[in-house]
């Protein structure tokens, strides 16, 4: 078994597509419309999505502009080679960083959080190849950290 996708209900499909493709660097994999049941879908992901990677299904129920996320939802996690550089790139293209990159409380893994336009949280988890201390003292060049994850 494997995870195929996670579905998020969104209040504006194009705004959500723009965030996941332009801010997080995902690809728009496919879309569909269902006029009979009044909803539209967009699937986004990295590296072509399934079968190699799980996807995110963005669901727009026609006429519903917002949702109460509730207290049970946590976040989606994305691996990035450099969380600090990812945060800078996200801010540069208008994304909202809600927790700057730094070590997780009680650990050494470097994480950050961003929030999508519908309020969903996305955790950026830095690959283990660079520790927090290494990054703080690094002169590594700034690359596109999300597209190379």
User: Which residues are marked as active site?
Assistant: 123
Give the integer Cα–Cα distance in Å for 64 and 112: 30
Report which of 1, 10, 8, 56 is spatially closest to residue 30, judged by C-alpha positions: 56
**Class of residue 91 by CB neighbours under 10 A (exposed 0-12, middle 13-18, buried 19+):** middle
**What's the full length of the chain, in residues?**
149
Indicate the DSSP class of residue 53: S
Burial (CB < 10 A; 0-12, 13-18, 19+), residue 36, is: exposed
DSSP state for residue 104 in the 8-state scheme: P
What is the bridge-based pairing of β-strands 96-103 and 110-115?
Answer: antiparallel
């Amino acid at each position: 078994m494997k995870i195929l996708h996670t579905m998020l209900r969104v209040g504006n499909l194009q705004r959500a597509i723009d965030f996941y493709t332009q801010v997080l660097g995902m690809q728009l994999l496919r879309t569909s419309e269902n006029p009979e049941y009044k909803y539209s879908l967009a699937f986004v992901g990295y590296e072509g999505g399934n079968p190699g990677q799980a996807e995110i299904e963005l669901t727009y129920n026609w006429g519903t502009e917002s949702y109460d996320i509730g207290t049970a939802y946590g976040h989606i996690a994305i691996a990035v080679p450099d969380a600090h550089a990812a945060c800078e790139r996200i801010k540069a293209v208008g994304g909202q960083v809600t927790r700057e990159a730094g070590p997780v409380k009680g650990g050494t893994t470097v994480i950050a959080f961003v929030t999508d336009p519908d309020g969903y949280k996305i955790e950026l988890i830095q690959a283990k190849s660079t520790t927090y201390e290494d990054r703080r003292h690094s002169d590594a060049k700034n690359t596109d950290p999300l597209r190379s994850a």
